């Protein structure tokens, strides 16, 4: 596979993972500002995220972002021959 395609795939994974993480965290901040009480030690944002069942998508998005960054690093240090 062409090196440029590998860079593009890795950058796309990292970008969309980051975009999804930011969106979920913003949602948690907006919904968390309306919470008046919570029973966990997680805090308002994480309580809002977990109460709206967004913890699994957050973990998946974080994994995609880490995978994309790892692929970018791997491709950067790969043999250029």
Mean pLDDT, residues 34-47: 85
Q: What is the mean pLDDT of the chain?
A: 91
- With cut-offs at 50, 70 and 90, classify the pLDDT of residue 22: very high
Where along the chain do its domains lie?
Answer: 3-77
- Bigger pLDDT: 1 or 60? 60
Task: Decide if pLDDT at 81 tops 90.
Answer: no
Distances (CA, A) of 65 to 16, 33, 42, 77: 7, 27, 23, 19
Distance CA 39, CA 56 (A): 20
Mean pLDDT, residues 30-38: 87
């Amino acid at each position: 596979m062409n090196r440029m395609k590998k860079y593009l795939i890795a950058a796309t994974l990292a970008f969309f993972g980051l975009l999804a993480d930011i969106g979920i965290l913003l949602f948690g901040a907006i919904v968390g500002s309306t919470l008046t009480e919570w029973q966990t030690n997680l805090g308002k944002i994480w309580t809002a995220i977990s109460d709206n069942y967004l913890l699994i998508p957050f973990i998946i998005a974080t994994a995609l972002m880490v995978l994309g960054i790892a692929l970018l690093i791997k491709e950067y240090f790969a043999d250029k021959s």
